[in-house]
Structure 1
């Protein structure tokens, strides 16, 4: 994940994002790398973007450095796209994202069984972008926004699924007072989950992503 957009405004390359050392995937669902990728437990040197509750946030992915015109993820890497959010107890920069703190606000997986069209195909067709509305009922404060792509092309056995993860730091303004459902990452994902260990080439007719249901706010 290399860019975020807030209400259609490009915030710049790697701005407000905890940037991992390379574009290698995470494959161990018990590792703290599942939270915000490698070296992602601190954002001490990362700035925090201000976002109003109810705003539209777009995440933009690329295989290589910046916008080179290639797909966000290799065309053979079929899979799901999800977004989570977690409220920091103090500043976003000092938040490690551990414990039952994450709320799923977006999930897209197998879109068309007949053509085997996946969420990743749509992201690629949209120049690496996918968007989510920040629930307007979330309380104001500092948050981590966590986007993930789950590539399933070699997920027939565990570890096989490839998790591409990006976290951005945000201060949400306005908002409400709702306390949403939360899960832990790592913690909620199991290697045996049908959304993690799955043969997508076996005429798959449905797909259930890990992490439970989307909270709509």
Structure 2
């Protein structure tokens, strides 16, 4: 049977649309009042210029020890197209997601200090600290109000504040959604962008506030491997990862 190239192209395009609708990622940012486009997934990195690290798929990472968990697949810098946003410590960062379909699960935001330039840094080697998180806001696990529901209600966006006491320098910021609406496996959606922080203070996180990706989560964490539907009356949820460092 003859199948036209146009039909094949249409089939592939529709499959990608289905992936976008089912899953997602951060498409753009407002950082210190300045707007930045993100990386465009499913497109070649050649010619793209953005503060965001490359991410190639809207599909989730389902293994909490996956090597791509730091900045998604493949998390590489864009070479000459890699930019960094200059922003003052204490500024607000708004991440805009695609039309996010899930409303059950936590929202987490991390940062990491780059040893020199972030463009030359490998995300999995950085020490990450959490600056923001929210999980189950009210109600029971399967029917309550979650942070992801609030994200959806707020035009698919999430606003965080960079700690004002962080020293100036180059940092990565990592936004992550953990969708737990399925009973069989967690769905991690991490995205990273590069910042050049100005101003600031002299406080830096240490000890238990610092984690690696992968390494921060395990399948045995109660907030990672969880069947919310088998616990219809439970009203508490443990967000995975370290405590929030507030400076």
TM-score by length of 2: 0.78
CA contact (8 A) 1:153 1:200 kept: yes
Segment drifting more, 83-92 vs 105-114:
105-114
Q: Report what 2:7 is aligned to.
A: none
- 2:227 pairs with 1:191: no
* Equivalent residue runs for 1:27-106 within 5 Å: 27-44=62-79, 45-62=81-98, 71=99, 73-75=100-102, 77-99=103-125, 101-106=127-132
Distance apart, 1:19 and its partner CA: 3.1
Distance apart, 1:13 and its partner CA: 4.5
Distance apart, 1:8 and its partner CA: 3.3
Where do 5+ consecutive residues of structure 1 fail to align? 63-70
Distance apart, 1:52 and its partner CA: 0.6
Q: Report what 1:208 is aligned to.
A: 238
**Total equivalences in the alignment:** 204
Alignment match of 1:171 (pick from 196, 201, 217): 196
CA distance in 2, matches of 1:32, 1:90: 23
Q: Report what 2:158 is aligned to.
A: 130
Q: Which has the higher helix share?
A: 2
Q: Which runs of 4+ in 1 moved over 4 A?
A: none
CA distance in 1, matches of 2:55, 2:38: 14
SS of equivalent residue, structure 1 residue 142? strand
What's the Cα RMSD here? 1.6
Greater Rg, structure 1 or structure 2? 2
CA distance in 1, matches of 2:125, 2:151: 29
Segment drifting more, 95-104 vs 23-32:
95-104
Distance apart, 1:191 and its partner CA: 0.7
CA distance in 1, matches of 2:242, 2:222: 12
TM-score by length of 1: 0.88
SS of equivalent residue, structure 2 residue 226? coil
Distance apart, 1:41 and its partner CA: 4.1
